Amino acid sequence: MKQTFSIIIFLLVSGLSVFAQDKHFSQFYASPILINPALSGAFDGKYRVGVIYRDQWRGALDNPFVTFAASLDLRFDIGKRRVFRDAVSGGIAFFTDRVGGIDFNTNQMALVGAYHKALDRRSTQYLSAGIKFGLTQRNLNFDQLSFQDQFNGLDGFTNPTGEELENNNYSYSDMATGIYYTVTPERQTSYYAGLALHHFNVPNASFYRSEDDPKETLYMKSVLHLGARLPIGRNKQIFPRVLMMLQGPHLQLDAGLNLRMALSDFNSMAIHAGAWLRPVKNDKSMNLDAVIAMVGVEFSNILFGLSYDSNINSIANYGKMHGAFEFSIMYLGEYENETILCPTF
């Protein structure tokens, strides 16, 4: 029964992968350059390393959905002797997404770059623009699938299939671009907004890739993200954030707030806690997909994050564990000051 359920889930998700939504993380700012390439180098330091792991529907499937991402980006100031302190940045990002049981894998390696233009003499405002060039590879193990004509009429799917199966491994180029604005009017207070467009080259994402077959292209994805860092007392700040992703007929909205509490006046150690809601729209209906809880520990330049999605849709109600775990680590190298150009959690 679970094998049958796995195949049904695969068909649903593969349809979403090609025609609708991409991968997603609840801790989306733990993988910032996958949200918006303009966020490459959007921090006060020399380099940033981040990894994030997502494990979804482990109780419902024998082999859960697993998504992993890692990134490295570097920032180079080019205006230290000029009135306006501009910067350039570059980086590399990798992600892999696996649907267990049927071995449907999506992998991408991407290069990103951005320019950060200071808009005033005190460098309290920046306007950034970035671009991403990626190569995506997909593969599927046909041996894990069963078709109707394979049923032997008695006890299993042992007959050969007459289905015409195409190449189970292909790749395509993928491009994204974005802009990002941030302002820091006073110490420990900042506001920011960004807009990104993914898949603007409209890649063909079909396993059937011959000239006689119609192309199944990815919808372009628009991403809007807004947020702020606001002090609410001694050694405490709140981080309200909104992420909206629109792809074809599908809309996903992540909205919530994180609280940061420093454990000393030197800000060398802090704890984070937050709560989020994720409503989604498929075709015409808008429903609440998940309630998300987050906790984190910040030590010096390292931040550990842990979150759990409690899914409340009908598919997630199958099984014992109805949700997804995420674990992230981010390290900021050669941190310079407390003026935050981009939040890390």
Rounded mean pLDDT for each run of 10 residues along the chain, 345 residues in total: 43 40 81 94 90 81 82 87 85 89 85 95 92 92 69 70 71 95 91 96 78 72 96 91 93 94 81 94 83 92 92 57 85 64 44
Domain borders along the chain are: 2-151+166-333
Contact 311, 324 (CB under 8 A): yes
Sequence-separated (6 or more) residues with CB below 8 Å from residue 148: none
Give pLDDT tens digits for 159-213: 766 666 667 788 899 999 999 999 999 888 999 999 999 999 988 877 766 655 5
Amino acid 213: pLDDT: 56
Amino acid 74: pLDDT: 95
Sequence-separated (6 or more) residues with CB below 8 Å from residue 267: 235, 338
Amino acid type, 56: Q
Read off the tokens for 26: 């609840």
What's the CATH number for 2-151+166-333? 2.40.160.60
Read off the tokens for 135: 């190569």
Query: Cα separation of 192 and 181, whole Å?
Result: 6
Distance set, CA 291 to CA 143, 285, 312 (Å) = 36, 18, 8
Amino acid 344: pLDDT: 46
Distance set, CA 251 to CA 64, 159, 177, 259, 289 (Å) = 24, 42, 19, 27, 11
Q: Where are the beta strands (DSSP E) in the chain?
A: 47-56, 65-77, 87-99, 104-118, 125-140, 169-186, 189-198, 221-233, 236-247, 250-262, 269-282, 285-299, 302-311, 323-333
Amino acid 342: pLDDT: 46
